[in-house]
Structure 1
Amino acid sequence: MPLQPLYLEWLHEPDGRVLRARSANLRQARATWHTSLPLVLGHLNAASMLWYLSIALISIDIQIDNRHDGQVLWDDAGSLAWMVGILVAWLAVTARVRRRMRTGTRAKELVTEWRQNLTALANGFEPRPSQHATFTSMITADRETVHENPRFTASGLEFGSLTTMRPGSPTWHYLAVTLPAPLPHLVLDATSNNTSRSDLPTGFERLQRISLEGDFDRAFATYAPVDGRADALYVLSPEVMAALVEFAGDYNVEIVDDTLVFFTAAPTNFTDEQTWNAVHTLVDAVVPLFVHRTQRFVDERLPRPHRSLLPTAFDDGVAQPVAQPTARPDAQGPLTISPVPLIARSGRRFVPQKRRRHVGTVLRGAVGYTAYIVAYFVPVVLIFAAVLSITDGRPS
């Protein structure tokens, strides 16, 4: 099933429109508790300002009642002037800080993040960063130290940037695809991204180098298990090798069970059209060929030979031997369901996300509403009462 053409307009929209679309997405997702440090500091500042105003007015009211017998004198007007002056200065500093924050690094990072998120949503991919590895590969050997951010997912595939929290570890740009059934372990080391040595991480030493046809050996160094040469030759058919050389020459490739991974240590920028076009080309022109070969692969070393019986877009209608399927019951080939846009051109989602109600969510809601009452409602009531009490006084 061919992919839809990419929609990349969000990479070039004005910053203001990107931020408005972000706000609309968060509202639709009912992200009530989407917080950040600037947001928390903003609430603390506003609440502190209200509490200062309420305490200052109550103090002046007490002074009027106790010292001046309920009458407003000139020194009371001076206290009010000092209070207003401090409040005006506070508001001026707050406005200046907010203006700087809007044009500062954090705002730029937010716009950059949501340019790529909206581009992903417009092309059918959900932004879902992960603090651990979500697939098996040599680049995810230290699973608990792996961070995948940004990470974009759809049915049967994901892609993004992957970092291992170890000094000197590269950031990998990757695409991981779930195949309909397992294949033998296979590693292709792209020669175009090597310098004096291979850029592959550890994990392929137990494999042996095998030689394939002419141009392919110059583009990729191929590694397979000692007894896996025949399987590698089956998977890497002439059309697969031609597609890899033409469209994936800058990517290392690994097959682990039913996972196909393309990865490279080259810098990746998901606000660049070229990055999205590269991913689109892999999914559209290279991945289907691997899916096609997977459907027809038979591992003779297993007690019962098997074939994947999953339907795909490449089913040519030819009858296949009936055998025990080995794919997971819920597995889907990456192109059996082509990703469809999740947001409209306005940036709003077609179907609002549903909020899951858990005990933790209810508790956070209760704490949040209590905090709002204490921070905003209580001081506003005190301010209103103090103003009424002061205005009851009469100047002498």
Structure 2
Amino acid sequence: MELRWLTAPEHEVAAAMADERRSGRSKWAPTGRSVLFHLYFSLVLWYLAIALVSVGVSVDEYHDRRVEADDVVGLIVAMLVLIGLLVGAWLLYRWSRRPPSPKARLAEWRRHLTAVANGFEEEPKGRAMFSSLITTTGKYNNAFITVPGPQVQSHPRFVGDRVEFGNLVDDVKRSRDWHYLTVRLPAPLPHLLLDATTNDTVRSDLPPGLDRGLRISLEGDFDRWFRVYAPSGYGTDARYVLTPDVMSSLVSTAAYYNVEMVDDRVVFFSKPAADFAYAAPWVAIDAILTDLVPRLITRAERYRDERVAGQDAESVLEAARDAMEAEQVWTRKETVVGEEGRRLTVRARFHAIWVAVGAVSWLVTRTLLYFIPAAFAFAGFMSVVDGR
């Protein structure tokens, strides 16, 4: 990969970005400043609610629904304080909209120029754009259900021809951040999962819920590097895909990544999020793309699930022979993986329940921040109006 922009002089980076005529930062990208602004503004709203409710209670309970002089004074003082708080909110809003610091901006420019130099586009998204164990909640009719959620961001996200990589960032819990690489294969494979042992802490870093009874053992010392899981009855198929040269390449180029093969996609992922302003993640991705991925593409092109009618060797030979006899060009049918091999067993209770809890918590949080104080503020205002 071309990595010179990661270490190029600052003036060269700035000049190159001027030629690009756009910033490397996405407008939607969350920042600590914007979070601070929302928190401050919600506190202002709560202050307004408490002030108006207090005056309303004074009018209704102590002054027999009449606005007295001390109520007017209290209301005026509350409004003056509110004006000061709103001025502070405006200043904080302007501060939150300021561009990032020169250091952060330079890092984003380096990252952006490196992506462009290597044929990738920077396209951040507010959710995960692929289905995998790290982006889903479980299984429904043998298909993953992707739950984007307001807290998950794909930033940065780099996209090329059949390739995507970047970070999956969870704003709620940073320990769930991942950096990843995903590649589209020419044909589907059985659902295989390789849990790297080198990135474990006290336990595996995989999300919970995987049926550990599906683990298989491969020859050599590969089990020291990866724990391999395959659907029940697909151990032989896993060995067909994970040939000795593929296993050797996995150990040499992707030992720190968990690997998932699902449908026509292979996903490499590891914690934590990577800093793409430095060379290390680019070098790791380049090694996987140039050495390992071509081997997996070859295996995907040749793989056939003989459990599916018409894909066994005898049926394929018969179809080819019939085409030759009819003097027609024979083309192999599109590969289909059997129903039992499409998904590993994942106990959805660990995922679906907590995602539902997270969604409800997000709704409750927004209600507490905005709706409830707004309702109290309106009730207090109406009490004052009724007492005029």
Same fold (TM over 0.5): yes
3-state SS, counterpart of residue 168 of structure 2: strand
- Residues 149 and 323 of structure 1: CA distance in aligned 2, closer, same or farther (over 3 Å): same
- Residues 34 and 205 of structure 1: CA distance in aligned 2, closer, same or farther (over 3 Å): closer
Aligned residue in 1 for 2:235: 229
- Residues 123 and 306 of structure 1: CA distance in aligned 2, closer, same or farther (over 3 Å): farther
How far residue 203 of structure 1 moved from its aligned partner, in angstroms, is: 4.9
How far residue 26 of structure 1 moved from its aligned partner, in angstroms, is: 2.3
Q: Name which of 215, 219, 236 aligns with 1:209.
A: 215
Q: Which amino acid aligns with 1:255?
A: M
Is 1:135 aligned to residue 135 of structure 2?
no
Distance (whole Å) between structure 2 residues aligned to residue 225 and residue 157 of structure 1: 26
Q: Which amino acid aligns with 1:192?
A: T
How far residue 19 of structure 1 moved from its aligned partner, in angstroms, is: 2.7
Q: Answer yes or no: is the 8 Å Cα contact 1:206–1:225 preserved in 2.
A: no
Q: Which amino acid aligns with 2:182?
A: A
Q: Which amino acid aligns with 2:11?
A: G
Identity %: 43
3-state SS, counterpart of residue 20 of structure 1: helix
Is 1:18 aligned to residue 22 of structure 2?
no
Within-5 A mapping of 1:1-396: 6-26=1-21, 106-141=101-136, 143-145=147-149, 146-167=152-173, 169-205=175-211, 208-305=214-311, 322-326=331-335
Post-superposition CA distance 1:190-224 (Å, at most 9, x none): 00011221001135327601111121000000111
Post-superposition CA distance 1:62-85 (Å, at most 9, x none): xxxxxxxxxxxxxxxxxxxxxxxx
Distance (whole Å) between structure 2 residues aligned to residue 23 and residue 221 of structure 1: 48
Distance (whole Å) between structure 2 residues aligned to residue 28 and residue 137 of structure 1: 30
Q: Answer yes or no: is the 8 Å Cα contact 1:135–1:259 preserved in 2.
A: no
Normalising by structure 2, we get a TM-score of 0.57
Distance (whole Å) between structure 2 residues aligned to residue 203 and residue 164 of structure 1: 19
Distance (whole Å) between structure 2 residues aligned to residue 219 and residue 35 of structure 1: 39
Post-superposition CA distance 1:92-118 (Å, at most 9, x none): xxxxxxxx99x9952222111111110
How far residue 139 of structure 1 moved from its aligned partner, in angstroms, is: 0.8
How far residue 27 of structure 1 moved from its aligned partner, in angstroms, is: 6.1
Aligned residue in 1 for 2:380: none
Bigger Rg over Cα: 1
How far residue 326 of structure 1 moved from its aligned partner, in angstroms, is: 4.1
How far residue 273 of structure 1 moved from its aligned partner, in angstroms, is: 1.5
3-state SS, counterpart of residue 101 of structure 2: helix
How far residue 14 of structure 1 moved from its aligned partner, in angstroms, is: 2.5
Aligned residue in 1 for 2:325: none
Normalising by structure 1, we get a TM-score of 0.56
Q: Which amino acid aligns with 2:148?
A: E
3-state SS, counterpart of residue 214 of structure 1: coil
Q: Answer yes or no: is the 8 Å Cα contact 2:169–2:273 preserved in 1.
A: no
Q: Answer yes or no: is the 8 Å Cα contact 2:304–2:335 preserved in 1.
A: no
Count of residue correspondences: 245
Q: Which runs of 5+ in 1 are unaligned?
A: 1-5, 37-99, 308-319, 328-396
- Residues 207 and 260 of structure 1: CA distance in aligned 2, closer, same or farther (over 3 Å): farther
Question: Comparing 248-257 with 264-273, which one deviates more in the overlay?
Answer: 264-273
How far residue 298 of structure 1 moved from its aligned partner, in angstroms, is: 0.5
How far residue 165 of structure 1 moved from its aligned partner, in angstroms, is: 4.0
CA-based RMSD of the aligned residues comes to 3.2
How far residue 180 of structure 1 moved from its aligned partner, in angstroms, is: 0.5
How far residue 167 of structure 1 moved from its aligned partner, in angstroms, is: 2.6
- Residues 11 and 157 of structure 1: CA distance in aligned 2, closer, same or farther (over 3 Å): same
3-state SS, counterpart of residue 131 of structure 1: coil
Distance (whole Å) between structure 1 residues aligned to residue 213 and residue 309 of structure 2: 24
Q: Answer yes or no: is the 8 Å Cα contact 1:187–1:204 preserved in 2.
A: no
Q: Which amino acid aligns with 2:208?
A: T
Aligned residue in 1 for 2:60: none
Q: Which runs of 5+ in 2 are unaligned?
A: 30-94, 137-145, 314-328, 337-388
Q: Which amino acid aligns with 2:276?
A: F
Distance (whole Å) between structure 2 residues aligned to residue 137 and residue 188 of structure 1: 13
